[in-house]
Structure 1
Amino acid sequence: MHHLPELGFLRESDIIGDPKSLPPKPAVIPVSRSTWWAGVKSGRFPQPVKLGPRITAWRVEDIRALIDSF
């Protein structure tokens, strides 16, 4: 299991990973970006929270609940 903080927010790259970052971020939920956003739109994945005009994040609690539902 990946280490997730108890509280707070996760960005998209924290959830689906980013192999191009240094160091590479492993995926907590191994899906593509388009699959992630399609799941958000359909309600399969949690809805994001807008923290600013260009900052979208998800509550850690929502991602933990999603992982537990698998």
Structure 2
Amino acid sequence: MQIQEHFYRIKQIASAPATPEKIHVYKTGVNAGKTRKLNAKPARQGILPISEKTIWEWVRQGKFPQPIRMGGNVTVWRASDVQKWIEERS
């Protein structure tokens, strides 16, 4: 019998507020005066009420479990490690 291990990606762990659509105007350089549309993003509720930036800072400080690289640019955390970390702080 094989046990299936579960993983979380950063977007499942971290929360993020909604951001409105913005128009950015380049002030200098070859694109000076041109505009760029930045799309709106909906709010995202992860399992923790903290940002991705905070999670990465805690990983660097050793306060949060280390992630696992799964080929290419995919970084994940073992669900069991994250749940254990949450339980230790409750």
- In the superposition, the TM-score normalised over structure 2's length comes to 0.61
**Structure 2: gaps (5+ residues):** 19-40
Instruction: Select which of 24, 47, 56 maps to 2:66.
Output: 47
Q: Following TM superposition, by how much is the alpha carbon of 1:41 offset from its aligned partner in structure 2, in angstroms?
A: 0.7
Counting matched residue pairs gives 63
Greater shift, 42-51 or 25-34, is seen at 25-34
Equivalent AA in structure 2 for residue 63 of structure 1: V
Counterpart of 1:63?
Answer: 82
Within 2, Cα distance between the matches of 1:65 and 1:31? Answer: 17
What is aligned with 1:31? Answer: 50
Counterpart AA for 2:86: I
Contact 2:15 2:51 in 1 (8 A): no
TM-fit CA distance, 1:17: 3.2
Gaps of 5+ in 1: 1-5
Of structures 1 and 2, the larger Rg is shown by 2
Tell me the TM-score normalised to structure 1 length: 0.76
